[in-house]
Amino acid sequence: MFDIGFWEITLIAVVALLVVGPQEFPALVRNIGRLLGRVRRFVGSVKTEFETEINKAEEIKQRIAEEARIAEAHKILDEKRFAAVRAEETAKASVTGSGAPSPSPADGNKNEAAKT
């Protein structure tokens, strides 16, 4: 974790022994061990929680991508339906007569004006 080797730990222990004294040293080492255990458990729980949140974010990302694919498929389907309806209208118009779509009311007014 901190990349501390054997000799560094030994030097820290000797200095602590000289500062604290031989009678308090075992209690100090015990308390340091407990503290390190708590820190490791805390780091482990944070790591687990972080990984869980990352997995949730990945799931959301996959859902968004899937929804985008579905939306694109719906768009293509709507375009195809529109083209099919237009083709059907064109086919019906060609079967019923002139092959051209029926004139709109505005076109009828132009024809009447041309007659007069």
| pLDDT mean values, one per 10 residues, the chain (116 residues) | 81 89 91 94 97 97 96 94 91 74 53 53
pLDDT at 91: 87
The structural domain count of the chain equals 1
Q: Domain limits at 84?
A: 6-92
Query: Would you say residue 111 lies in a domain?
Result: no
Q: pTM (2 decimals)?
A: 0.51
pLDDT at 109: 53
Alpha carbon 110 to chain centroid distance? 58
Query: Would you say residue 108 lies in a domain?
Result: no
pLDDT at 115: 54
Whether the CB-CB separation of 80 and 73 falls below 8 Å is answered with no
